Amino acid sequence: MSQPFIPFTKPTIDEATIAAVADVLRSGWITSGPKVLEFESALSAYLGGATVRCFANGTATMKIALQVAGIGPGDEVITTPISWVATSNVILAVGAKPVFVDIDPKTRNLDLHQVQSAINNKTKAIMPVYLAGLPLDIDALYTIAENHQLRVIEDAAQALGSSWNGLRIGAKGRHDLVSFSFQANKNLTTIEGGCLVFNTDRYGGDQVSLAEKLRLQGLVRHGPDGMEVDVLGGKDNLTDVNAVIGLHQLKQLERFQEQRIALARHYFDRFEQSGLSKIGLGLPIADFVNSNWHMFQVLLPLERLGQTRSQIMLVLKERGIGTGVHYPAITGFALYRQRGYSPEATPVANQIGQSILTLPLFPTMTEADIDRVVKALQEVLA
């Protein structure tokens, strides 16, 4: 009696969204147009009036963020080894140097003491990553940045809907540049997509117009007045088809998040009842105030288990349970080793990268699904 497979994540797309996509496809205008502008305004409203621009994906968004912050060859950007490789790839892509510091095992994000020690006269920016949607101490982060006159580019790819001190991440206020992703697995998806939030109070509108140029070939104008290009841009615009999906997702985002929170609570209850935390399974911080619960990630006590993470993932898969690894330390990849990095340089991150496991969590999951996951884990780890 095999039960249905539970993937580690699954997008929630309703019929109204599908119908809206069909409308755009029939409309005669399918690339960037009115739906992108509408989506940017809706995101801005969601973020307390902040200035928001959309891009083709989160990676392009972060690369453009670095470019508008003026980061390039000779500059250093402090970041975490535990992220999707896009975070540091874009630092390399603009010709700057990623400086990886170790992480705080609680937030699984930058250890801010280590950030302080890594700052030197080449440092231009700090790039934190809100893994699983959990923010770090935003006040402490910006205090460091302000003391050293550094830019902050927040990789909030996973953190739309998360908050700090009662304000959403990216909300108009203290933030510098905040990058979100709308890739298929994220809490809000446009299939592929991303957006950047600017602090126009502090920096004015120049960075916004630069970002607009960078996302479309550096085009200053085109139309009856002729055409002009004055910077090297790419082709990183979002389409109206993607934007209309985002508009429908945004309407449902709070409900999605409530469902995620309720399911995360159920995980904690079940882990407590099953005694799994006693065997040394590392649970995430039970933050039901700030986190959007993008993922539910545990740390496997591999040294006690005598099984590898891959073996455990395979057995769970055979029982119909999908899991994921987000992420091994970036510094272990060949591209990074070739450049002189090594995962051993950041032992906490290295350890977490080896033992972290993403369990299923998505809005349409049921409590019974979670019971199945916890029971299977209990048997596999026994």
Ligand X SMILES: *Cc1c(COP(=O)(O)O)cnc(C)c1O
Return the active site residues.
186
Strand partners, 100: 79
Q: In 3D, which of 128, 129, 133, 58 has the Cα closest to residue 90?
A: 58
CB 277, CB 71: distance < 8 Å: no
Among 52, 157, 195, 321, binds ligand X (CB under 6 A): 157
CB 132, CB 293: distance < 8 Å: yes
The neighbour count for residue 289, using CB atoms within 10 Å, is 11
CA angle in degrees (0–180, nearest 5) for 296-302-308: 95
In the bound state with ligand X, the residue whose beta carbon lies nearer, of 40 and 155, is 155
User: b/e per residue, 219-239, with b = 16+ CB within 10 A?
Assistant: beeeeeeeeeeeeebbebbbb
Provide, rounded to whole angstroms, the least separation between the CB of residue 60 and ligand X: 7
In the bound state with ligand X, the residue whose beta carbon lies nearer, of 9 and 87, is 87
Of residues 75-134, which lie at the interface with ligand X (CB under 6 A)? Answer: 83-84, 86-87, 129
Q: Which segment (139-147, 153-161, 199-207, 303-311) binds ligand X by CB under 6 A?
A: 153-161
Interface with ligand X, residue 170, by CB under 6 A:
no
Which amino acid would we find at residue 258? E
Of residues 189-228, which lie at the interface with ligand X (CB under 6 A)? Answer: 192, 194
Among 59, 190, 290, 331, binds ligand X (CB under 6 A): 59
CB 69, CB 151: distance < 8 Å: yes
CA–CA distance, 359 with 162 (Å, rounded to integer): 19
How far lies 87's CA from each of 10, 155, 163, 243, in Å? Answer: 23, 7, 21, 23
User: Where does the chain have alpha helices with state H?
Assistant: 15-26, 34-46, 58-68, 86-93, 112-118, 138-147, 200-203, 206-214, 240-274, 302-305, 309-318, 334-337, 347-355, 367-381
Provide, rounded to whole angstroms, the least separation between the CB of residue 245 and ligand X: 14
Provide, rounded to whole angstroms, the least separation between the CB of residue 57 and ligand X: 4
Among 32, 44, 57, 292, binds ligand X (CB under 6 A): 57
In the bound state with ligand X, the residue whose beta carbon lies nearer, of 238 and 380, is 238
In the bound state with ligand X, the residue whose beta carbon lies nearer, of 63 and 213, is 63
Q: In 3D, which of 229, 152, 166, 165 has the Cα closest to residue 196?
A: 152
Provide, rounded to whole angstroms, the least separation between the CB of residue 151 and ligand X: 17
Among 158, 257, 331, 350, binds ligand X (CB under 6 A): 158
Pattern 292-331, ligand X, x by CB under 6 A:
----------------------------------------
Interface with ligand X, residue 181, by CB under 6 A:
yes
Among 183, 242, 291, 350, binds ligand X (CB under 6 A): 183
In the bound state with ligand X, the residue whose beta carbon lies nearer, of 91 and 115, is 91
| Helix 58-68 / helix 206-214 crossing angle, nearest 10 deg | 130
Helices H / strands E in the chain, number of each: 14, 15
Residues in the interface with ligand X (CB under 6 A) total: 15
Among 39, 46, 52, 58, binds ligand X (CB under 6 A): 58
Provide, rounded to whole angstroms, the least separation between the CB of residue 143 and ligand X: 23
Among 102, 154, 155, 369, binds ligand X (CB under 6 A): 155
Closest residue to ligand X: CB criterion: 58
CA–CA distance, 289 with 264 (Å, rounded to integer): 12
Q: Which segment (72-80, 155-163, 222-230, 247-255) binds ligand X by CB under 6 A?
A: 155-163
Provide, rounded to whole angstroms, the least separation between the CB of residue 302 and ligand X: 24
Contact set with ligand X (CB under 6 A): 57-59, 83-84, 86-87, 129, 155, 157-158, 181, 183, 192, 194
